[in-house]
Structure 1
Amino acid sequence: MADIPDKEDTDLLITDWERKQFLAALHNRLFWVGEKIPYFVEMEGKKCKLHDRVWELINKETISDDEKQEIEECIQLLKKKELIDELELETKEMTREEAKGLFDETAGLLRAIMDLREIEEGISKEKEKKFHEMFSTQRTEEIRRWLNFLKDAGKV
Structure 2
Amino acid sequence: MSVKDDTLSEWERNQLLAALHARLFWVGEEIPYSIEVNGNKCKLHELVWQLINKENLTDEDREHISKYIAYLREREQKDETKLKTAKLTKKEAKDLFNETGGILRALMDLREIEDGTVKEKEKEFHDIFSKERVAEARRWLQFLHDSGGLE
Q: Same fold (TM over 0.5)?
A: yes
Deviations 1:28-53, CA, capped at 9 Å, x for gaps: 00211321000011122111100000
**Aligned partners of 2:79 and 2:122: how far apart in 1?**
32
Counterpart of 2:109 in structure 1 is 115
Q: One-letter code of the match for 2:110?
A: L
**Aligned partners of 1:99 and 1:133: how far apart in 2?**
39
Q: Select the residue among 88, 93, 97 that pairs with 2:91.
A: 97
Runs of at least 5 residues in structure 1 that lack an aligned partner in the other structure: 1-7, 143-156
**Aligned partners of 2:125 and 2:41: how far apart in 1?**
35
Counterpart of 2:145 in structure 1 is none
Q: How many residue pairs are counted as aligned between the two chains?
A: 133
Question: Which structure 2 residues correspond to residues 61-100 of structure 1 after superposition, within 5 A?
Answer: 61-100=55-94
Q: 1:96 to 1:127 in 2, by over 3 A?
A: same
Structure 1 SS opposite 2:15 = helix
Q: 1:40 to 1:127 in 2, by over 3 A?
A: same
**Aligned partners of 1:126 and 1:47: how far apart in 2?**
31
Deviations 1:62-85, CA, capped at 9 Å, x for gaps: 111110110010000000111110
Q: Please, what is the CA RMSD of the aligned residues?
A: 2.2
Q: 1:60 to 1:98 in 2, by over 3 A?
A: same
* Aligned-pair CA distance for 1:59: 0.7
Q: Select the residue among 4, 13, 17 that pairs with 2:11.
A: 17
Runs of at least 5 residues in structure 2 that lack an aligned partner in the other structure: 138-151
Structure 2 SS opposite 1:47 = strand
Counterpart of 1:28 in structure 2 is 22
Q: One-letter code of the match for 1:72?
A: S
Structure 1 SS opposite 2:41 = strand
